[in-house]
Amino acid sequence: MLEKNIKDQPPIDYQALVDAVLDDASNYRGHGDVAAYLPALAQVNPNKLGIALAAGDGNVYVAGDADEPFSMQSISTIFTLSLTFSHVGGALWNHVGREPAGAPFNALVQLEEEKGKPRNPLINSGAIVVCDQLIGRDTADEAVDEILDFLRERSGDESIDIDQNVVMSESTAGSLNRSLAHFLAAWGNLTNPVEDVLSVWFRQCAIRMSCRQLARAGLYLAFDGMDPITKAEVCLPSRSRRINALMLTSGHYDNSGDFAFRIGLPGKSGSGGGILATIPGIGAVAVWSPGLNAARTSLAGAVALEKLVERTGWSVFV
């Protein structure tokens, strides 16, 4: 058990907390729609619900389906962004902005209006640019290996891998993402061939992780870039803060403002129904439930995080 540095807050029993939060959100199991636009995701059981809270002392508290791997989808961008930042530093901002999109995650019109510079790295066009920058002078396969190695090391779990079925779905249903990538290329904002960049983006989105693995992997972002258990300096404190800022302002498609309003934690949603959120100085929490709201954030997952904050006061605005 750990305590946030707030006077008069009693110690929290983390296991009882995640059990209670799972219970709170259980009424919302199966609500919303699974991401049917990808055939492989359409088959996932909508009643799944899991939560994992990784604390700074190395303990991970889980409830429900927290050990079942699911498709990370664009939650993966948070980690690719950490890696790309360490390769190219602030030069990344020549290629992508850092404003909320206020538009759907795959909006083509906005990209055209803004001459091929995506609003932020967490929408699809921005994530594609991040992949391009990560490849740099390497090959697409090397970039994917780097992402996988990073996730395995961060979660302490070598079993993390790519779901090839999802890769296939991403590619066959990928016309809009291909359009975004060609638009970026047309505006001179890709340095590698479109199909190479997309092959990284598709494989990155198709990585499967459980809530337990994801919460553990995201822990460094709650501790200023340093893994509190291994003491590895994963990214510079300033970059960790910036990634958290992007998560807070742009982490949930076109409902990022609503997520900040309701939950008040930096987070990133993926269309597989996962959400990763950081609780600065305390830990990282991952939730998963495949039913999505109209803006593609996990419906029961967001309720679970809302209840977590209600029960603890762990909003960053406290």
Phi, psi of 202 (to 5 degrees): -65, -45
Q: Which of 82, 155, 169, 177 binds ligand GLU (CB under 6 A)?
A: 177
d(CA 77, CA 180): 16
Query: How many angstroms separate the CA atoms of 179 and 200, rounded?
Result: 16
Q: CA-to-CA distance for 244 and 218, rounded, in angstroms?
A: 11
Binding mask 190-209 for ligand GLU (x = CB under 6 A): ---------------x----
Based on CB atoms, which residue is closest to ligand GLU, 40 or 284?
40
The residues, any chain, with a CB within 8 Å of residue 55's CB and separated by 6 or more, are 2, 14, 61, 282, 283
CA gap 108, 111 in Å, rounded: 5
Question: From the CB of 72, what's the least distance to ligand GLU, in Å?
Answer: 8
Nearest CA-CA partner of 168 in 203, 142, 195: 203
CA distances to 218, 242, 254 from 224, rounded to whole Å, are: 11, 10, 27
Site track for ligand GLU across 57-96, x = CB under 6 A: ----------------xx----------------------
Nearest CA to 304 among 277, 283, 280, 270?
277
Residues 112-151: x where in contact with ligand GLU by CB under 6 A, - otherwise, as a string: ------------x---------------------------
240 forms part of the interface with ligand GLU (CB under 6 A): no
Shortest distance (Å) from residue 105 CB to ligand GLU: 5
Choice from 133, 271, 297, 312 touching ligand GLU (CB under 6 A): 271
We find the least distance from the C-beta atom of residue 75 to ligand GLU, in angstroms, to be 7
d(CA 153, CA 75) in angstroms, rounded, equals 17
> Which position among 132, 146, 170, 196 is part of the footprint of ligand GLU (CB under 6 A)?
170
Distance of closest approach, residue 76 Cβ to ligand GLU, in angstroms: 8
Give the interface with ligand GLU as residue ranges (CB under 6 A).
73-74, 105-106, 124, 170, 177, 205, 270-271
